[in-house]
Amino acid sequence: MIPTFVIFLREGIEAAMIIAILLAYLKKIGQERQFRDVYIGVIAAFGLIFAGGIAAYLLINQYSGSRVQIYFETATYLIAAAILTYMTFWMQSHARGLSRELQAKSDLAVTTGGRWGLRILAFQSVGREGLETMVFTLAIIFANSKQSAVPLDGNLLWLGALLGLATALLLAFGIYRMGAKINMRLFFRTLGVALFIFAAGLLSDAIQNLQELNWIPFMHHQLWNSSGFVAEDSNFGDVLHSLLGYAERPTVLQALVWISYLGIGSWLFLRMGRQKKTVSV
């Protein structure tokens, strides 16, 4: 529940913030009649991503327990971790100029593409976030279902997703009412560090799969066995695995990748934030 809440909050607030900025700017230039075109683009993006996510899950679920599923899971973990890393750094460096960039794109869409231009702009903006969310959600589902001995509670995953989206919409409403003047830098910095922890856990899961496939035939030595203290298939262990990438029997390589990624990534991320703040002062 918590991982999907944070993922949907992060992706939802970015997508909603983009749409809120678009609507606020259209209102400012007296183009409220084109709100409908923005909504059409948003709905089309949500529909396509939702259908694609369900289709991908049903397809790979047919190969449950086979090596095909392991291949797909591993690729999903790696892609999700890469996207998480990229989008976190991207938002850190572009958050301040995002409003101006969207306003310029809106002007171009209105003057050259008319109604279809705005629809496409909204579709692309929301579709990108939706595609990322789909990949992250699949990675969370596979990671939790793999580690848990009991059936995965899909209701909790959906609850976390809905709560994350609801919170994102409330924040987006505040952005719209305040004319896109809310400074989101601190919000994205705090959430960015949390997402680095998720990404580190996904990379650790990918390393585990690659070592099980014997594609990485080194550093297999088990560091510890804490299953008697906190088992991964327990409720608490499942939460720790989802949030922190906890493993009851981690290998040396898993621990090395987790520590290295989290340490280096967080340091670079926070350092970039301090540099941006210094330059803007």
pLDDT in tens, 9-22: 767 777 776 777 77
pLDDT digits (tens, 9 = 90+) for 126-180: 787 777 777 777 777 776 665 544 445 556 667 777 887 788 777 767 666 665 4
Confidence bin at 35 (pLDDT 50/70/90): confident
pLDDT at 199: 85
45-54, 160-169, 226-235: least confident range? 160-169
Mean pLDDT of the chain: 76
Question: Which pTM value belongs to this model?
Answer: 0.69
Whether 141 and 63 have beta carbons less than 8 Å apart is answered as no
pLDDT at 151: 47
